[in-house]
Structure 1
Amino acid sequence: MYQLLIVDDERHVVERLAGTMDWESLGIETVHRAYSAQEAITLLHTTTIDIIITDIQMPGMTGLELIAIVRRKWAKTRCILLSGFADFSYAQEAIQHGTADYLLKPVSEEQVRDTVQRVLQQIQAEWAELVSGQRIQLTLKENLPLLKGSLLNELLQGRRYPGEEWERKMLELGIPSFHHSPFAMVMVRMEEQFLHYDARSLSLFEYAVGNIAEELFSPQYEIWHSKDSHDYLVFMLKLRTESTEIEEWQQHLERTSSELQKAVTTYLKGKISVLVSTWGQFPDDVTTVYNQALSLFRKRIGSEHNLFMTTKEDEAPKESHRTLQHLYELPTLTQLLETGRWSEVEEKLIGVFKELNEQWSQSQEHVLEVFFAVSAAFSYITHKNGRQLAELIGPDYYKMTEGLPFRSASLLRDWSLRVLGQLKADMDKEVNDARSSIVHRVQQFVEQNLSEDVSLQTIADHIYLHPVYLSKIYKLETKQNITDYVFQLRMEKAAYLLKNSQDKIYEIAEKMGYQRAHSFIHVFKKHYGVTPQEFRDQQI
């Protein structure tokens, strides 16, 4: 949906164009009003406008000067000029300098509609070209290393996708298929001299290490690498040829990794520590192999520098001490709660308790681990919203403090899902109450200022909200645009005054915010099918 701005120092022109046409049928979501070029610029700083219709001759700043500023600051915004016959030469000059079109006063609604529709088609064609396959492929190519690294990081941190989705994502990024293949990891930690460089210089050295690794490993291995969240360089490797002699290839991998360490020392004049993992199966073993390598880096290498280490099979974590994988996989409970993805939070909890029940139901320590993680996530999101968990969940909070939920996995599951439901209901109510309050404040302001400026920008300024956000929230709650509400209220109040007062037509027009009675008569007839006087006569 598009945003339109009409700019003219003659208020009746703005009101007639904004209030009497079926803009929604053209795909125009909101019609904004401005009565000077300066007012238009103020609005452009806060609102994304797609099309501007502006008069040329205005006090202070002309429409041509406005267009020059728009072209410099908001190049995607298209401008349509409104000009009188005497200004026609100016309009022609403006078109030569990039103005989308012009309309010659007096202008009919059909002319306005046709011109705006034509400009919208130009905008759509421009965006269609922008998102064409060729442009997307070029952008993808430019950002390919970053996208590849991000996907690997998701995998390392436990993000789960269905197998076919992994294959699709890897294919799109030109990553060799690791699916259902044995893989190994080589992890590199930059040390000593490298740590004294600034972030940009360090990233160049990391890039160089990646190039050296590509050169050394690529003859025998497919390689996919990234920098992880702990600042290690992680290289995932898969043999280019199928082989069952993993032990032989392990020796080759260790020898090549040692060459990498030596090459960095020789050519980059810096030290690195290197760890070579055991082999696993993609994608099921990725997180396990990665976490095992992290653990060994922490336990066996620690703060020592320039070490080389390999992982042995007997160093794998013992089954009885393994963590709950699903609990820590991305996205985390906290991330899901922060973005309000309630159904996904519920799915994650169900997955966590399924794993807990199948593998660790007899382990009180694992049940306690889940309790601490879940209750911490619930407390975090509640406190972040400025609330107290105790006031939201009542008796369930005191069950938590008394330790009742974690006496068994089933009790904890019931407690967690019940508290989740309470949090969702409370936050839904808070959102609804806030939106209802916004609608009430808008309608109250409009009713009290109907004869004054009740444009979207003025209303937004009054209640301290961004006009685009305000417009969307109002429509979500009322199924009606703010501008439609203002127009409807004006027509209803005008009809009431025509029935129940002796005010003259021009006086009623002024009370409804119309500077000229002619504009009021025009829109009233279009709405009710009769002129104001005819409407009044029918009441006798």
Structure 2
Amino acid sequence: MYTLLIVDDESIAVRGMKQGIVWSDLAITEILEAYNVKQAKQLFANHQIDIMICDIEMPGQNGIELLEWTRTHYPDTVSLFLTAHADFTYVQKALQLGSFDYILKPVKHEQLKDITGQAVLQWKKNEEKKTFSVLHKQYVQQWEEQLPHLIERFWQELLGERVLPKSKQIAAKLQQLNIPLTLDDQVLPILISIEMWKEEFNARDEEIMEYALRKTASELMLASWPGTVIQDRNGINLLLIYVKPTDPIIRDEVQKICEEYIRYCNQYFKCSLSCYIGESTKITEIPGMYSDLLVMERNNVSASNKVILANEQLQVRPFFDSSATSFPVMDWIMLFELGRKEELLEQMTESCTYMEQKSGFCKEDLESMHTSILFLLFSVFHKKGLSVYEAFPSKQLIDSTINIRTLEQFRTWMYKVISQGIGHFMLHAKEESEIVIKTKKYISEHIHQEFSREDIASYVFLNPSYLSRLFKKETGISLTDYILKERMNEAKRLLVQTEMKISQIAESLGYMNLSHFITMFKKVNGATPMNFRKKIQ
């Protein structure tokens, strides 16, 4: 199992050590002999030597010189030295060069066997350390390779959590992942909303293009500041700039770089997109700012290829403007969507109590909170493609303030509306939404016309990026792939039921390039249009 080399210029001494000890007790199965340094080096070249017992004083090169050589060329070998003189200079030199131990001649076999056994144990330890070092290096490499994914997952969990983890947990995670932030620092979020691709892509190609957009954002927009670019669990692209109190971010500079990024993407990635810039926010408060950016994107149905700031008023703001109220409407929306009725009603009741204690209850306060609740209901139901009026008679919502004159009456109305609204929402939200139904209807009615994702978004009054995410979330297929599938299904129908030329079919489905049509047909159906028609006939 182990190989031992004995080096001594006295052949009798070598034979005595070789034959006088039962080396198999130490799992030493091969014993090699050398009578000078030259012979020893030759044996090293042809064998793996684990343990070496070497005399210091030999003619020509001595044992010290051999040890220097082995330290350089065979550092794993564990060496023991023999010497006839207790010369401290030799001993000191040998120990400096890494000799495991030294023994004075004449050698007692039991003593030599015992020390050699210790040398074998040292060799084992060295091998274990070496193995551990290799494994540790591999794990470090794997960790470094996975670190970007772990950082992205950290932000995904932080942004997606309905209840934030404790500050200590966040601080520990920041340190563990080497994210250069503390709890006193801030983060500036920028939502990158892809509105429309100017070329036709399938779902896989879109993912590749979005990856390229994120890489470009990282290279272009993070050249001046530390940060990261992630994609959240809903497929939303988000750039996070790390902000230190000593080095505040100038938003005008960020806006200019975002504008440059949009122009670059327009030119090289054949897409239109907008950037929604939030406010610099503490890490523990970033989910709230992130929700505000999502609302901004959802409410934007007119501006394209624009940089939009968090405090900027959009031209189109559906239903009601929550910014005019002092209530945590976005938190209420989150609780409503999760069906957490008791927690939502508790927060709303606290808001009523706060208003009452602060300045007394008045008509303006009631109307303000009434508007906030209406904003909540219309926003959540519209987002899911549901009609509010299927859940409530119009008088129960719009005309409610006419008959409500006291805070107690308002609370009664509030409890009833929220309870009824959550019950209806949770029952119907899992069905295919009206938005998706309208989208499919539009595609079916315009299948023989040229149209884009932006055209569909305008038809259903939604932001193109938001529509794409909603469609895929509900149907399991991307909007682009669905349009392609429907067009190819219509192409198959025309190939089977009509005598139209393939070029005419392609043109009728909005494909001006016949070659592109044939390529897409084969990609979806596994055969060219001509082969498909022959097979059917």
Q: Same fold (TM over 0.5)?
A: no
Q: If the length of structure 1 is used for normalisation, what is the TM-score?
A: 0.36
Higher Cα Rg, which structure:
2
Query: What TM-score, normalized to structure 2?
Result: 0.36
